[in-house]
Amino acid sequence: MIETIPPLSFALDSDEMVNIRRAGREYRLVYVSIPLLLGQCLTRTIGNAFQTSPPLAFKRRDFAEPFLNEDEMASLNGFKALKKQVEWMSGRYAAKRLAKRCLATQPPLERTQVDYRKKGAPFFTEAPSLSLSISHAGEYAVAGIGLRPSLGLGLDLEVIRPESRTTLLQTAFSPREIKTLEHQDDEAFFRHWTAKEAYLKYIGLGFHESLKRVEILDGAIFHDGHPVPSLSVFSHHPFPGYAFSMVS
């Protein structure tokens, strides 16, 4: 089932760095404004030029609010572009704020441990049975958690870029999907794309599986031509120019 969430249900206010929201009764989402995170949590100045700048060597003193441990600092400084560093730290911050709010232990941000499964899906080491998903795009990062072990989820957030539509149609969609999408507007198209990406995160494969092997047709998810039962797709536009989907 594909359901469109009301467009303002998870939106951040202009001066709000973090917003924690319910996604149904059993899921929680945290949205983070990346520009506000950079302005409020760092002691060094990083402007919008991070999109095209070389990497920086971050030190603990660069963080006004410490939230990364030593291993995470090493991971942060291992990226080859500042854009990747900023996206990674923003997604990690979103996940840790989620842990502090939702985990029974409510660990301090700096001591919250996030690890990765064999295919790359993240999880909290203090609660490995709970599903965790992280995404980021443009000026926002989002993390989501299922509050019970039986609840899986996958999230995807994307900037709506109409100029990339033709390439995406050729590389990410099956012929059956193309027939249904070629006459839809850009918002509907990118909701569809985020739903496919979110499903791959739901099954824990991410980039290890081809998007063309996953189809969303008439509100149902198909994998290798077979319907996938008992899943819901929630899609909406949390901010102008962005599309978001959660598969659960």
* 127 band by pLDDT with thresholds 50, 70 and 90: very high
Work out the mean pLDDT of the chain and round it to a whole number: 87
Sequence-distant (6+) residues with CB within 8 A of 158 are 137, 190, 193, 194, 197, 242, 243, 244
Q: Are residues 170 and 241 in the same domain?
A: yes
Distance CA 115, CA 113 (A): 7
Q: Which two tokens stand for residue 21?
A: 């929201």
The domain boundary, picked from 99, 123, 153, lies at 153
pLDDT of amino acid 90: 95
Residue-wise pLDDT for 166-197, tens only, equals 999 888 899 999 998 888 899 999 999 999 99
Instruction: Compare 17 and 85 and report the one with higher pLDDT.
Output: 85
Q: Which residue has the higher pLDDT, 42 or 209?
A: 42
Q: What is the pLDDT of residue 73?
A: 96
Question: Which residues are CB-neighbours of 165 under 8 A, at least 6 positions away?
Answer: 186, 189
Q: Which pLDDT belongs to residue 55? A: 94
Q: What is the CATH number of the domain that holds 243?
A: 3.90.470.20
At residue 129, does pLDDT exceed 90? yes
Domain that holds residue 84: 12-153
User: Do 214 and 141 sit in the same domain of this protein?
Assistant: no
Asked whether the predicted pLDDT for residue 243 surpasses 90, the reply is yes
Instruction: Tell me how many helices (H) and strands (E) the chain has.
Output: 6, 13
Q: Where are the alpha helices (DSSP H) in the chain?
A: 34-41, 70-76, 82-102, 165-172, 175-181, 186-202
Residue ending a domain, choose from 133, 153, 173: 153
